[in-house]
Amino acid sequence: MQQYKDEYYNGRERMNPTIENKIQNNTTDISKNPAFPSVNREGNPTNFIELLAYKRFLDVVKKVRQYTGMQDISGDYGFMRLQEKLQESIMQIFDIERQHRKYLEQLGVDLVTEEMELPKDAIKIDAKIVDMGTIEKDGFSTQSKEPNEQEVKKEFEVKAKEMQMTPMQVFQLEKEKRRFINLLIQGASKKGHYMFEIRRTELNRLHPELANLYGIVMSINDYTYWAMPEKMIEQMTNNPKAVAGKEEIKDDNDETKVKTQAICFPVSVHENIKGVMEVFGTHGLPDSKEAQEMIFNSTDTLMNEVWDIRLGVVVWEKFLRTYPMEVFDKGKIYIQHYIFSRFCALDFDEFFEVSRQILSDNPKGEKFIKDMVDDIVRDMKKSDLDNVFGDYANGGVAEEIHFFLVDNKSDKFYKNVGYNVDETITDKQGNEFEKLYFENKKLPKKYNVNDLIYLQQRDDFTQKDKYGGGDTSYVILVDYYSSPKKPYYYLYNVTKKFVATEGSLDWIKSSLPRGWKFYDSY
């Protein structure tokens, strides 16, 4: 990332001197967080915060130029011009949005739900766009509140003994972990500032300049955090009336609700994402509500959030680059939430070690994430099967289960089922299986490899085959066009050249012991 430092010093725009000094001297509020590497990939000492800051600042400058059309925004004069344009644009936004708040609130919820591929009703988002200065002040913390030694001992003594640390040391690590998770949450949610581009056409139907105004306001707002003197930012941050948005999590009757307030549409989208990511990030907290409260009181302050806003995006981008490409495909984006949740749930040592590996571009970090994704996919497949067969495992009966298998070509039901021993398909692991054509009244449905749920390399779905010994792999075919998804057929690997015998509902139930293994009766 050295090139960003060179580009920064070759450019005109500069951070505020106080901020620049903190970055260069590695004295920011997050500089000592153990999640940041102290050496680069080659093992040489590095000020990683400084390198991150240069890249993020340069990205922000490019955004400002893109939306404002101003190519030189350097110096006090440039900053003053931007602030004037910011005030003018935000007032225009307020005037336009006032007549369309309900529509924009719902649009923001729909946008986040769709782009993050959130399951329907999994997290309910209650979004409100409100006047400046009217955001509810409950939950805002301007100063850290530290517990006393006895309180810390009460909550963290057990874990301290397990880790051979003092309770205060454990508490400190919990705080550092929370600070870094907050940084990632802020980085992930900052993209919400510019997600209006996805719905630019719809928004410009409300007003032809609305999307451009959003870009102007959000880009200048980002730049302000770098160019404004620290004292002024602190004064603004400590004034709840100047806050542009807020999110809070509510758990009511087993329902998770994200409640957000914001002064305009892009901030509303940002807060919606932040709230959802906060739900996933809670996996990184202790179980005790009292311990959680101690950590929140110490770390979740408005001033701490300033550095999250400055650096969160570039840190989050580093993490995203380690994700396998397939989790960015439509229909698989939701897997990213499992990755983040599991990462947050890691123990201290692993959490900080993997973070350092990812940020320093160590291949071990990327491999760790890839292995995690593989585990997630395997667990999700098993979870899907558990959900489908859960009623059987618990002695119940699900409706509309189609289960009819044949032994061989001479079986009288062979043609009805459409079992073809002469035609095969190969899965992604290279395993070959006979292709099945399933009867569906008068309209046969052809299934291909994408309809298979693979259970290879899963000990709980492999067993000795009494027909000649050796391990037998099972494949479960699922009708993806039904809701909920229904299992249709089971078959053996093609190397054995046969499938299971006919199975009645009672046989299926008897073959599903409670919860973990199929075909135990074979």
484 prior amide bond cis, ω within 30: yes
Domains: count for the chain: 2
Question: Binning pLDDT at 50, 70 and 90, where does residue 422 land?
Answer: very low
Mean pLDDT of 323-328: 91
Mean pLDDT of 324-345: 90
Distance of CA 424 to the CA centre of its chain: 38
pLDDT of residue 283: 85
Residue 59 and residue 7 in contact, taking contact as beta carbons nearer than 8 Å: no
- Compute the average pLDDT of residues 5-33: 92
When the pLDDT of each residue in the chain is averaged and rounded to a whole number, the result is 76
Average pLDDT on 394-417 reads 34
Q: Are residues 183 and 317 in the same domain?
A: yes
CA of residue 517 relative to chain centroid, distance: 31
**Residue 388 resides in a domain:** no
Residues 357 and 450 in one domain: no
Sheet-wide strand order for 245-252: 123-129, 255-262, 245-252
pLDDT number for residue 194: 93
How is residue 345 annotated by DSSP?
T
Burial class of 129 by CB neighbour count within 10 A (0 to 12, 13 to 18, 19+): buried
Alpha helices in 257-299 (DSSP H): 265-281, 289-299
pLDDT band, residue 381 (cuts 50/70/90): low
Are the C-beta atoms of 286 and 155 separated by less than 8 Å? yes
Quote the pLDDT of residue 520: 23
The pLDDT value recorded for residue 382 is 52
List Cβ neighbours of 263 (8 Å cut-off, separation of 6 or more).
Answer: 94, 129, 130, 131, 132, 135, 244, 245
Decide: 472 and 496 in contact? Cβ < 8 Å.
Answer: yes
**Does residue 516 fall inside a structural domain?**
no
CA gap 164, 160 in Å, rounded: 6
Q: What is the DSSP letter of 75?
A: H
Q: How confident is the model at residue 152 (pLDDT cuts 50, 70, 90)?
A: very high
The three-point CA angle 157-161-162 to 5° equals 120
**Which DSSP string corresponds to 210-260?**
HHHHHHHHHHHHHHHHHHS-HHHHHHHHT-GGG--EEEEEEEETTEEEEEE
Is residue 322 located within the same domain as residue 466?
A: no
In a domain, 487, yes or no: yes
Q: Which of 176-190, 379-393, 411-425 has the highest mean pLDDT?
A: 176-190
Q: What mean pLDDT comes out for the span 355-362?
A: 93
Q: Is 396 within a domain?
A: no
pLDDT at position 143 is: 78
Higher pLDDT, 433 or 327: 327
**Predicted confidence band at 385 (pLDDT cuts at 50, 70, 90)?**
very low
Q: Return the pLDDT at 149.
A: 93
What is the mean pLDDT of the segment spanning 238-258? 81
Could you tell me the pLDDT band of residue 393, with boundaries at 50, 70 and 90? very low
Q: Which residues contact 67 (CB under 8 A, 6 or more apart)?
A: 212, 215, 216, 218, 219
> Is residue 492 one of the residues assigned to a domain?
yes
Q: Which of 498, 490, 504, 522 is nearest to 410 (CA)?
A: 498
Domain of 355, in residue numbers? 2-137+144-378
Are residues 315 and 374 both part of a single domain? yes
**Residues in CB range of 255: below 8 A, 6 or more apart:** 124
179 and 322, same structural domain? yes
Q: What is the pLDDT of residues 218-246, one digit of tens each?
A: 999 999 999 999 888 888 877 767 788 99
Final residue before a domain boundary, out of 350, 378, 406: 378
Q: What is the pLDDT of residues 98-147, one digit of tens each?
A: 999 999 999 999 999 999 998 777 789 999 999 998 888 776 777 788 99
Answer whether residue 84 shows pLDDT above 80: yes
175 in the same domain as 234 = yes
Does the structure show a pLDDT above 90 at 436?
A: no
Q: 391 in a domain, yes or no?
A: no
Q: Is 129 helix (H, G, I), strand (E, B) or coil?
A: strand
* Type of residue found at 170: V
Q: Compute the distance between CA of residue 56 and CA of residue 59 in angstroms, rounded to an integer.
A: 5
467-481 pLDDT, tens per residue? 333 443 333 443 333
Q: Are residues 47 and 120 in the same domain?
A: yes
Percent of the chain with pLDDT over 90: 48
Mean pLDDT of 267-278: 95
Domain membership of residue 397 (yes or no) is no
Distance CA 52, CA 489 (A): 53
Whether 282 has a pLDDT exceeding 60, the answer reads yes
For residue 468, is it within any domain?
Answer: yes
